[in-house]
Structure 1
């Protein structure tokens, strides 16, 4: 049995004109109704101009090959000019970070933090990640419905964040809160803050708390945590406050949201495709490829934005210098020209790591291997314990066009 395909011909996606085709509406992702919009865009207008949206005019890029072209031509499609989200940061509240930079500054700052997720360090972290995963899973109730997001996904990612920053462990919930504030849509009534001003104030509080740690680490010999690396790195030790805020938010969100939502979305996918769940339970050696398929299928980051540095052509369309160009990873990962049967969740694909969820090129997610390791350990430990974990109802999804988030997921482990 496979999950239903979501391309309902009665969807408004097939009635609108392409000039009115605005896939930036966060409700599409909260309501999980985005599929037919991108199916039509890939087929009829892979590079589509949206003259008017809540976020201003933009180009919508929906096919795998066109997204990849933008990723590798970072000299034409800049991160620095306008940032990485379709929604512009208010000019007086902008928070630069290395992902919002072009070379050479991007390369200098990224190089400072990348050793923490180098293979040798990941090997050292594995035992701690496994110990914590076992502790969280062993505490779960049996025969009773509970929220997987709250009890597993958030707990595991928050503990990992505290370790990466060597943040006071008893205060680790602050890291999750700051991450939620950094990515939330302030128009959503359920968001932790409801204006850009509120968001900025909370992130300033975050910067204040982290500055104290930063100063403490700068006076100590270099250690192998992110705060110490930033404090001792030649390219980062003298960052202005807003750049410090931006890089902290980037590292916290990068270490939290993508992994958290893959932990939740993976369980949903295996329940939606029970034959794949059975296949995984019968052959635990498929965990590695299953993890890559989870990350593709979930696509935790919905889009990345670029800004054209000069007049150029993309997909037969003329892009002008200064135009906003939005790369819809969520669509590229469902492009049948790049990925066979992309709407099916298949844990033993021939090329499971061929996906866009981590981006590509110089901006490829710096912590991608750590995310894969956390998910791999989670599923190894689940398979060692539970015959099955059942999803008991629909998820509560995040109101966002940037993070493909799951706020709550009711599940049950049979007694």
Structure 2
């Protein structure tokens, strides 16, 4: 990136309003750690709700066969996002849910990036793990683990909430869903981080390293698959290994679905757990509001998920020419549905940048997506967060965030890497 471009990123407002509309690129991850993308989204919603970016950012660090982000459309208003997300006849989830196409020599097929009917049968295969009876069985375990983790955080001392609480709780849950060896559970955290990281993030040094670590992931899981073939367990690996439509999937499709399930079960809930603390720090009156009325916890959780939007967008590919806002999305064009922007759309939510724990329409957020691809683990995520809130309010009068948190260098996974806090009695 040249110096002139570096300078405009110093201020999101300057970049948003001093750059010609046609040159804006909200996919650039440099905007996201300091939350400079909000001003760009505001301008796009107001002035060009269907925006064409002719050359999405490229770190220059991808493998030769990988496609850079390239040209794409941004959809930023709530109602437009809903319309596209539910229109699976004109918009396809294949070949990817992110803007870059998968590398030609390293494809990762996964059911969220598939269309009907294959999407439906693979989703149904793993569905029992989050059925109502399964959630009821897991509820007590989730509470026990939440109590265990929170009982061990120090009072009146600094510590990192992300690593100590958010990552630990979500990794414990992932280990349960996979029936994964518990002592190795932090491998799941690492693989989740690596799966969505490019060399520009600092998580991996090269695309070759990322691929090597993901192959270690699938090798580990292949051993578990072989052990559970023919078994009757209810964990995700056993369900995939014995499902009629999934037991013959090849190695890369297995890896793709593992990445989907690991990232979906880890990054989303973990970042909403961290957002619960950071958001309450920014809006302390809301913390007091729910302390005084625990019945607000379910709505509080919905509002946190709206405000945070842990996965900022999902991509679709146009199957035919589509007219929207007087423009034509051409067949084959990439479309980014910016959930993060839709959840801050003033046309849908009053004072959308604020956390309001008794917001009337908090549950109308689109953080879980909509239509056939709506997150199948949404009820589990909500249950984990509701239990966390209940147990936090039992223990802490407040949780102080003592410095600005560190955030992901990513326009896809919208989250936190470190958050120093102090818990008060």
1:194 matched to 2:197: no
In 1: Cα distance, 2:86 partner to 2:163 partner: 37
**Partner of residue 320, structure 2:** 310
Distance apart, 1:314 and its partner CA = 2.2
In 2: Cα distance, 1:245 partner to 1:207 partner: 5
**Partner of residue 354, structure 1:** 364
Contact 2:12 2:40 in 1 (8 A): no
Distance apart, 1:12 and its partner CA = 2.1
Q: Deviations over 1:47-72 (max 9, x none)?
A: 01111122100101111111111111
| Greater RCO (CA < 8 Å, at least 6 residues apart) | 1
Distance apart, 1:194 and its partner CA = 2.6
**Partner of residue 58, structure 1:** 72
Q: Deviations over 1:233-289 (max 9, x none)?
A: 111110011100100000011000000000001111111011111101111111100
**Partner of residue 330, structure 1:** 340
Equivalent residue in structure 1 for 2:21, among 7, 18, 21: 18
* Structure 1 segment 234-383 matched on structure 2, within 5 A: 234-383=244-393
Distance apart, 1:186 and its partner CA = 2.2
In 2: Cα distance, 1:185 partner to 1:331 partner: 23
Contact 1:185 1:399 in 2 (8 A): no
Contact 1:108 1:235 in 2 (8 A): yes
- Which residues of structure 2 form unaligned runs of 5+? 1-10, 58-68
Alignment CA distance shift 1:10-1:199 (3 Å) = closer
1:390 matched to 2:376: no
1:152 matched to 2:165: yes
In 2: Cα distance, 1:351 partner to 1:186 partner: 39
Give the TM-score of the pair, scaled to structure 2.
Answer: 0.93
**Partner of residue 43, structure 2:** 40
Name which of structure 1's ranges 164-173 and 87-96 shifts more when overlaid on structure 2: 87-96
Q: Residue 187 of structure 1 aligns to a residue in which SS?
A: helix
**Partner of residue 109, structure 1:** 122
Give the TM-score of the pair, scaled to structure 1.
Answer: 0.95
Q: Deviations over 1:21-57 (max 9, x none)?
A: 1101101111111111000000000001111122100
In 2: Cα distance, 1:171 partner to 1:231 partner: 21
1:77 matched to 2:91: yes
Alignment CA distance shift 1:375-1:9 (3 Å) = closer
Q: Residue 219 of structure 1 aligns to a residue in which SS?
A: coil
Equivalent residue in structure 1 for 2:228, among 213, 217, 222: 217
Aligned-CA RMSD value: 1.2
1:232 matched to 2:248: no
Segments ≥4 residues shifted beyond 6 Å: none
Distance apart, 1:10 and its partner CA = 5.2
Contact 1:98 1:110 in 2 (8 A): yes
Distance apart, 1:185 and its partner CA = 2.8
Q: Residue 51 of structure 1 aligns to a residue in which SS?
A: strand
**Partner of residue 120, structure 1:** 133
Q: Deviations over 1:286-328 (max 9, x none)?
A: 1100000000000000111111111111232101111011111
Distance apart, 1:147 and its partner CA = 0.3
